[in-house]
Structure 1
Amino acid sequence: MSSDGEDYYYEDDYDEGSMDQDSPVSEGMSEPDIVYDVMSPTADEPAPKKPYDVSYKVRTLQEIINMQSKEVRKIQTLLEMPASTATILLRHYQWNSEKLQEQFWNDPAAALLSAGLSPPVSPSTRTGPLPPSPSLLISPRRPTRSSHNPALSPVKRSRAPQPSGPFECPVCCMEFAKEDVVKETFALGCRHRFCRGCWAEYLTGKIRSEGESSRIQCMESGCERIVREEIIDELVPAGVSKRYHNLLNMAFVADAPNLRWCPHPDCEYIIECTQAPPRMLNQLVPTVECNCGRQLCFGCGYLSSHRPVLCKIVRLWERKCADDSETANWLQANTKECSKCQSTIEKNGGCNHMTCKKCKYEFCWVCMGPWSEHGTSWYQCNRFDEKSGVNARDAQAKSRASLERYLHYFNRWANHEHSAKLDAEFYKNTEKKMEQMQNSGNLSWIEVQFAKQAVETVIKARITLKWSYCMAFYLKRNNMTELFEDNQRDLERAVENLGFALEQNIEPDSIAQLRQDITNQTAYVQKRHEILMDDTLKGYLERRWDFSVDI
């Protein structure tokens, strides 16, 4: 690299005898057959199925390491610097190579200093002989102990001056004879020297206790010099070094806007998605599916799909539910009283069609109204009666009306969540029920799969209905809201009918008819689910929805 006719080189950040001069990027980052660009989508991503779907790719940890390797090599070549320097610069600029190049070409010294590195030194300001040309000093790649990015052409560096006499560590006050200084002590390029034992304890505490990785600085108070990877690998035990490089990989994913770790327990995959930037989260609900088989929202990292609700609405809703925790706890109780005989009833299934065993009264678990009205066009269980708040004249009445409105939607939100959990428990017993149908109805195992598919459809639809009530709470009342609630009502009614059919006892003579009914109802639920999801998510892109909060 040259500027104004002067050649620059980079000073060493540690002194002689300290360690092997391997590159900072983790082992296992050997030349890959295929490399990946961290900033742009790959060519093998499938096209979105729907206009509101996003393309994504599930990555392994090794692919993430390869991404880092490629970026380091690119900067190393462009800026003609050692790999360890390029790595620290990239981490300082959060792996934004364009921003790094702009800052570096404008003022190299300022860019290096801001990243915690030594500024370049010109021949006119340095005493002593110049180091040989870097092209003559590239050493062979050597394996390292830990499973992190491998070395990238390490370059020989200059050496820090050694103390002329005995040395006393400023931390532990241990004295070292002159002949032991090189072997037992260590100093960065900032010349702050400490014994190796103090360095090891300091670095181990930073990594294990504080979770530090890319911004570990010199031990000297006020010194901002960054400790390089190869130094940490040499000074700390192998277990600490492994954790350190895991933290570096986690930081890389956290810094990249198009990468996100799968949040589910025991999953080590990373999702790459370039079509869900923060500015688009008011129009998209970017649901993706990891290779572990579970869904998540790429926008906010929610553990499951929260379609059709936007990420910001989800955060507002959960915050409101947390603020009203006492009410929420009361509403999540599993028992209610029969509105006819006041007997205590416990819900033990996902279906909302309840029958009191004492008086045989059939009612809806959600609204406590007679079930006879829920199978007709008068079914309005999903819609809140706004007239209840029209005549509110004083603050207390308005507050009560507001609370009633919230309870209406929260009750239905919590009920579908609870019903989905009960249906999931019912799902575990489905296989036994399928075996019973197979034996009683002379059916093959393939022919009884309809029951398993029906339960999966009910659970999926209940999760959608759960979040639809969250969305309905924040929607302003207009014609679009009426259409949304109509779709919501139709899906909810279809789900209740299918759930009720699944919970019926199996009679050998009626298995064929039951199979046909459940298959037809499953197809209808799937159709209603698709209509609700398609219309709602397209509505975001068309800006049809008007919310009571700013999104």
Structure 2
Amino acid sequence: MASDSDYDDDFMVDTDDIMDGDTDSDFASSLSVSDNDETDDMAFDGAFAEKHERKTYEVEFSVQSVKHLVASQDKEIEQVTTILGLPSKDAATLLRYFRWNKEKLFERYMDAPDTTLRRAGVVSQQYQAQPTLIKATDLPPSDQPFTCDICCDDDPDLTTASVACNHRFCVNCYGHYLTQKIKEDGESRRIECPQDQCNVIVDEATVQRVVDDKILARYRELLNRTFVDDNDNLRWCPAPDCEFAIECHVPSTSLTSIVPTVQCACGDIFCFGCGLPDHQPAICSIVKKWLQKCEDDSETANWISAHTKECTKCHSTIEKNGGCNHMTCRKCRHEFCWVCMGPWSEHGTSWYNCNRFDERSSSEARESQTQSRLSLERYLHYYNRYANHEQSAKLDQDLYQKTEKKMEEMQQTSDLSWIEVQFLKKAVDITVQCRMTLKWTYAFAFYLAKTNETAIFEDNQRDLEMATEQLSELLEKPLEREKIAQLRQAVLDKTVYVKHRREILLEDTAKGLTEGRWSFIVDVK
């Protein structure tokens, strides 16, 4: 996550792209970072005022507005145009065909220019195309009389449209065709000529001349989306209605050792690698495995293995529904002992003592069930704590409303200013943030192999958990007018400590991932 001190270099946001009505102050507030907000930190009397240095668990990134995305595309197109000597519209088509991979484009073009152009849907420069829009009466004699192959209209006053392939249709039909492709099919990058079996791409200039302004705006929006989707270093912010994209140069091969957490200008914090909400310190592959484990039926099967047994005769699955160990299979009517799985006929009247049970002789038969039970207990240990912190974070979200009222009350009953009571909101921010971090530490720990390093991780986890609970308890305390100063100091001190404990945990975990210190019980690559 980038700090405020990094925004001058990392953030590339243009205020012109902010929605109409936003003021400079609104925009400044949209750039706030929850754990580094300068405004909030004023309430901490300089507690967080030291210059921020990028930590091991933070990555470099920048926020790209729509204007910057367009400028980036124009820059790429201009470079290809200059090097290959192609018209800009053809350079744009080539770049989109190669998904903005210039190195691959140059390599293929230098090897076989005509073939590359043809496959990309570009007509060779040697072929002289007619103007995009032209009256039917102005067509060359060889193309007259003109009849639109779509609507079969042969009116000589028709305006016709075509791209470089010179497959002409009336402008109304061409417009309807492009509108359907853009509006209904959501296409933009590879809209081909309406002529059957013609793969020449309809360029942006042609679209601009044929469709209305609303469809043109949608077309350009789709072009921007494909630019981001095709670029490995760009990802759209997943927040609803957010138009910013994030640029981060962390390759996918590094996601086994880095959790690339980024923050958009809208305030949303997420993982650049997978697009999910911030899940530090767990890497993306572990998060994927954990979520899948929580959602699928694997734990149902685990429960069945731990709480049921198979009939020794017909192998039907049986669940014990009473205290008696005398079992009768409803399917084959076989009678056996639930404890030792032996025939009930051999138990006589000593069934309650079960003298046939022998740990050494029955261990092999019970090993599978024992392992399933242990596996289930281990999973539930981590899942219950994971779910508890998730639920606590949601409940802490409700604390914001209570905190705002408490801030107003504190301001009215003391000599503190509104800025000075912001420490309460900051404390809630950090509490929620730590809850989410703790949630993912349990997913991380579930797949972590037991080593000496594991003990250090669990100690850091315990210290953060204990400090977070203490801070949460402080925030729940009712206001007492005569103790406001003591409460403020206690919350400030505990907030600083909790923030520090989170940084220690994330820093050590990130270094362990980078150095390869952690061992996992599953393949994370």
TM-score for the superposition, normalised by structure 1? 0.68
Q: Measure the CA separation in 1 of the matches of 2:229 and 2:105.
A: 18
Q: Measure the CA separation in 2 of the matches of 1:242 and 1:53.
A: 36
Q: Measure the CA separation in 2 of the matches of 1:452 and 1:83.
A: 52
1:288 correspondence with 2:262: yes
Superposed CA deviations along residues 372-427 of structure 1, whole A, max 9, x for unmatched, are xxxxxxxxxxxxxxxxxx99944344333323322222221121111111111112
Superposed CA deviations along residues 153-201 of structure 1, whole A, max 9, x for unmatched, are xxxxxx98665544443333x2304x34xx3443444454433332222
Deviation at 1:446, TM superposition (A): 4.6
Change (3 A) 1:223 1:396: farther
Deviation at 1:498, TM superposition (A): 1.6
Match of 2:480 among 497, 500, 507: 507
Change (3 A) 1:160 1:538: farther
Q: Measure the CA separation in 2 of the matches of 1:394 and 1:518.
A: 51
Change (3 A) 1:48 1:440: closer
1:59 correspondence with 2:64: yes
Deviation at 1:244, TM superposition (A): 0.5
Tell me what 1:134 maps to: none
Change (3 A) 1:397 1:209: farther
Would you say the 8 A contact 1:72–1:83 is kept in 2?
yes
Q: Measure the CA separation in 1 of the matches of 2:52 and 2:396.
A: 34
Would you say the 8 A contact 2:386–2:443 is kept in 1?
yes
Q: Measure the CA separation in 2 of the matches of 1:160 and 1:47.
A: 67
Match of 2:444 among 444, 468, 471: 471
Q: 4+ residue stretches of structure 1 with deviation over 6 A?
A: none
Tell me what 2:273 maps to: 299
Q: Secondary structure at the match of 1:480?
A: helix
Change (3 A) 1:84 1:93: same
Change (3 A) 1:325 1:265: farther
Q: Measure the CA separation in 2 of the matches of 1:199 and 1:454.
A: 59
Q: Secondary structure at the match of 2:502?
A: helix
Change (3 A) 1:245 1:492: same
Deviation at 1:507, TM superposition (A): 2.6
Q: Measure the CA separation in 2 of the matches of 1:534 and 1:56.
A: 18
Tell me what 1:423 maps to: 396
Would you say the 8 A contact 1:109–1:120 is kept in 2?
no
Q: Secondary structure at the match of 1:296?
A: strand
Change (3 A) 1:517 1:186: closer
Tell me what 2:148 maps to: 169
Letter in 1 for 2:174: W
Would you say the 8 A contact 1:288–1:298 is kept in 2?
yes
Deviation at 1:535, TM superposition (A): 0.6
Letter in 1 for 2:432: I
Match of 2:182 among 180, 183, 207: 207
Tell me what 2:103 maps to: 98
Q: Measure the CA separation in 1 of the matches of 2:77 and 2:242.
A: 27
Change (3 A) 1:480 1:235: same
User: How do residues 453-472 of structure 1 correspond to structure 2 at under 5 angstroms?
Assistant: 453-472=426-445
Deviation at 1:116, TM superposition (A): 0.8
Would you say the 8 A contact 1:501–1:518 is kept in 2?
yes
Q: Secondary structure at the match of 2:431?
A: helix
1:237 correspondence with 2:212: yes
Q: Secondary structure at the match of 1:448?
A: helix
Letter in 2 for 1:489: R
Tell me what 1:197 maps to: 172
1:311 correspondence with 2:271: no
Tell me what 1:16 maps to: none
Tell me what 2:30 maps to: none
Q: Secondary structure at the match of 2:186?
A: coil
TM-score for the superposition, normalised by structure 2? 0.71
Change (3 A) 1:79 1:160: farther
Change (3 A) 1:448 1:197: closer
Would you say the 8 A contact 1:392–1:401 is kept in 2?
no
User: How do residues 141-540 of structure 1 correspond to structure 2 at under 5 angstroms?
Assistant: 164-172=143-151, 174-177=152-155, 179-180=156-157, 183-274=158-249, 276-302=250-276, 304-324=277-297, 393-540=366-513
Change (3 A) 1:443 1:221: same
Deviation at 1:294, TM superposition (A): 2.4
**Paired positions, count:** 406
Q: Measure the CA separation in 1 of the matches of 2:199 and 2:223.
A: 19
Tell me what 2:331 maps to: none
Letter in 2 for 1:282: T
Q: Measure the CA separation in 1 of the matches of 2:368 and 2:90.
A: 64
Would you say the 8 A contact 1:160–1:189 is kept in 2?
no
Change (3 A) 1:392 1:500: farther
Tell me what 1:336 maps to: none
Change (3 A) 1:48 1:448: closer
Superposed CA deviations along residues 342-384 of structure 1, whole A, max 9, x for unmatched, are xxxxxxxxxxxxxxxxxxxxxxxxxxxxxxxxxxxxxxxxxxx
Tell me what 1:68 maps to: 73
Structure 1 unmatched runs, 5+: 1-27, 29-45, 132-138, 140-158, 328-389
Q: Secondary structure at the match of 2:63?
A: strand
Deviation at 1:319, TM superposition (A): 2.0
Q: Measure the CA separation in 2 of the matches of 1:187 and 1:515.
A: 72
Match of 1:87 among 87, 92, 113: 92
Would you say the 8 A contact 2:299–2:376 is kept in 1?
no
Change (3 A) 1:167 1:449: closer
Greater fraction of residues in helix: 2
Superposed CA deviations along residues 280-330 of structure 1, whole A, max 9, x for unmatched, are 11111111222222222122222x321111112122222222215998xxx
Change (3 A) 1:54 1:47: farther
Q: Measure the CA separation in 2 of the matches of 1:169 and 1:444.
A: 74
Q: Secondary structure at the match of 2:235?
A: strand
Q: Secondary structure at the match of 2:410?
A: helix
Q: Measure the CA separation in 2 of the matches of 1:192 and 1:316.
A: 52
Change (3 A) 1:198 1:397: farther
Q: Measure the CA separation in 2 of the matches of 1:425 and 1:233.
A: 49
Letter in 1 for 2:274: C
Change (3 A) 1:265 1:164: closer
Q: Measure the CA separation in 2 of the matches of 1:472 and 1:268.
A: 36
Q: Percent identity?
A: 48
Q: Measure the CA separation in 2 of the matches of 1:415 and 1:54.
A: 29
Tell me what 1:378 maps to: none
Change (3 A) 1:79 1:49: same
